[in-house]
Amino acid sequence: MTTIQGAIIRLVSAAMLLALAVSPIWAQKDSARLKKDDSSVYDELAKAPKKAAARRNPLENDPEAVEAGANLFALHCSECHGATAEGGRKAPSLRAEPVRRATPGTLFWILTNGVVRRGMPVWSKLPEPQRWQIVSYLKSLPPAEASN
Amino acid sequence: MQKIAPFLYATGLHLSLVLVLVLGGTASIAHAQESPYIVAYDHYLEEPGSLELEYFSTFGTQRDGNDYHAFWGEIEYGATAWWTTELYVEGQTTFNDSTIFTGFRFENRIRPLQREHFINPILYFEYEEISGADKILKEDEGHDVEADHAVPNALARREHNHELEFKLLLSKTFKGWNIAENTLAAKNLTGGNPWEFGYAIGASRPLALKASAQRCSFCRENFVAGVEMYGGLGDRHSFGLHDTSHYVAPVVAWNLPSDWTLRLSPGFGLNDNSHRFLLRWGVSREFSGFGDMIARLFGSHKP
């Protein structure tokens, strides 16, 4: 191995190990962006295309959809959005007025596409019916209390 | 070194268990929704702040040599919603030969696009520091063939590879089906080796698309089944299928509500250059809130 090759290998190794070391800090920097009174977090709802926003929830008459959606929410969403969707340090309340006003199709679109820049991953890995079940659960939630 | 390798391996496993217990006490556990692939990648990254610990085994048959059991441990962390970083540590036991540590890999996957599209690309960068005795077959590239693995460990481990690997991961999920296609280009930085190429493709689907109203272990939606195929595509000087190996492997994953994911995949060689049979299995557990836990340790967040 030549000296130049050895230097390149050491440089690449060092850069990658450094990236690994700083990645948790990076994640915190991203998640720390959410501020309690930052209503701009709901701006993404307005970006749903009209066709997507107009979609109806095919499970809106399914009696088990809310319960199944509550389980899915607890498994996948509550870590960031709070156990009862009241919001957390990393993600906003889903009981807030903009979310309550949003159509089922809009919520489904947000779930599918995520808000990657703000730290919400895409959830298209959940099959469509499961995403609609989560939407059913969100639509069943009461509004946030005044204290929230 | 040969004699202490099994001891080091056992110590490594004990350390992993301690890490799992420590994390279990400090980070919350997230329900895994994992793909069943072992070689192919879909376009889903780790959730930001989540840590996933994984262990995988590959048993391989070997003509003109001893069968082997190769294994790797994997630490996967979601740095952001668009960046996942992973560290692999690997080793192998060749029966009637020895157990050795074969190296480490450091991998990064980056999502360049903000939203879901018809096809979703992910950029993959990996640096490998592995010996010639590496047998985990995490990918198949260039002119890799079964005969490469017939070399005794004492000889094979003298070869040291420092390799850069790039992949373009393309994936799409439609009506519950995930279709993934990965193309790879790898360059061994030692010894003036040419660029090598390879591929992996996969298709999978949960056995049920709707979730049950009650939590359950054996519900059909917890099982994801599919198939993957992977192989080499030669190198810069001789691109193509000649002198390459190829595999097809049914895959199944069981995502348990008790926070574990189990994977099983019997693989079959498709030509005379391939191992006839590979049996792979893996177990993983995801811990959400790991990033928060680290931040609390260093006092940057108050509970």
Dist. CA B161–CA B103, nearest whole Å: 9
Select the residue from B86, B106, B111 to test the A interface by mutation, using most A Cβ atoms within 10 A.
Answer: B106
Dist. CA B294–CA B162, nearest whole Å: 31
pLDDT band for position B298 (cuts 50, 70, 90): confident
Those residues with Cβ within 8 angstroms of residue A59's Cβ, 6 or more apart along the chain or in another chain: A65, A129, A132, A133, A136, B210
* A43–B contact, CB cutoff 8 A: no
Those residues with Cβ within 8 angstroms of residue B165's Cβ, 6 or more apart along the chain or in another chain: B124, B125, B126, B127, B128, B139, B141, B184, B185, B186, B187
| Tens-place pLDDT, residues A6-29 | 777 777 777 777 776 676 666 656
The per-residue pLDDT for B30 is 46
Q: With an 8 Å Cβ cutoff, are A31 and B48 in contact?
A: yes
* A19–B contact, CB cutoff 8 A: yes
User: How close is the nearest chain B Cα to the Cα of A111, in Å?
Assistant: 10
Least confident of B4-13, B166-175, B217-226, B268-277: B4-13
| Tens-place pLDDT, residues B194-225 | 999 999 999 999 999 999 998 888 999 999 99
Dist. CA B19–CA B79, nearest whole Å: 19
The helix (run of H) or strand (run of E) holding residue B131 is strand B120-131
Amino acid at A6: G
Select the residue from B116, B288, B298 to test the A interface by mutation, using most A Cβ atoms within 10 A.
Answer: B116
The per-residue pLDDT for A25 is 64
Backbone angles phi, psi at B111, to 5 degrees: -95, 110
Asked whether the whole model's pTM tops 0.80, one would answer yes
Select the residue from B80, B109, B217 to test the A interface by mutation, using most A Cβ atoms within 10 A.
Answer: B80
The ipTM of this complex is 0.84
Instruction: Look at residues A92, A93, A102, A94 and name the one whose alpha carbon lies nearest to residue A47.
Output: A102
Query: Left, alpha or beta for B96 (phi > 0: left; psi -120 to 50: alpha)?
Result: left
Q: Which residues of B touch A119 (CB under 8 A)?
A: 48, 80-81
Q: What is chain B's Cα-based Rg? A: 19
The residue with greater pLDDT, B27 or B113, is: B113
| Annotated domain spans of chain B | 5-297
| Tens-place pLDDT, residues B107-135 | 999 999 999 999 999 999 999 999 999 99
Determine the topology of domain B5-297 in CATH.
Porin (2.40.160)
Q: With an 8 Å Cβ cutoff, are A75 and B31 in contact?
A: yes
Question: B52: which 2 tokens?
Answer: 């996933």
Question: A62: which 2 tokens?
Answer: 């399914």
Q: Please say whether the dihedral angle defined by the alpha carbons of residues A42, A43, A49 and A51, taken in this order, is positive or negative.
A: positive
| Tens-place pLDDT, residues A49-108 | 999 999 999 999 999 999 999 999 998 999 899 999 999 888 999 999 999 999 999 999
Instruction: Look at residues B276, B258, B259 and name the one whose alpha carbon lies nearest to residue B267.
Output: B276
Question: B41: which 2 tokens?
Answer: 């990648």
The helix (run of H) or strand (run of E) holding residue B5 is helix B5-26
Average pLDDT over residues B232-255: 96
Dist. CA B129–CA B106, nearest whole Å: 9
The answer to whether the beta carbons of residues B136 and B242 sit under 8 Å apart is no
The answer to whether the beta carbons of residues B87 and B106 sit under 8 Å apart is yes
Q: With an 8 Å Cβ cutoff, are B108 and A26 in contact?
A: no
Dist. CA B143–CA B103, nearest whole Å: 21
Those residues with Cβ within 8 angstroms of residue B302's Cβ, 6 or more apart along the chain or in another chain: none
Instruction: Look at residues A35, A134, A31 and name the one whose alpha carbon lies nearest to residue A93.
Output: A35
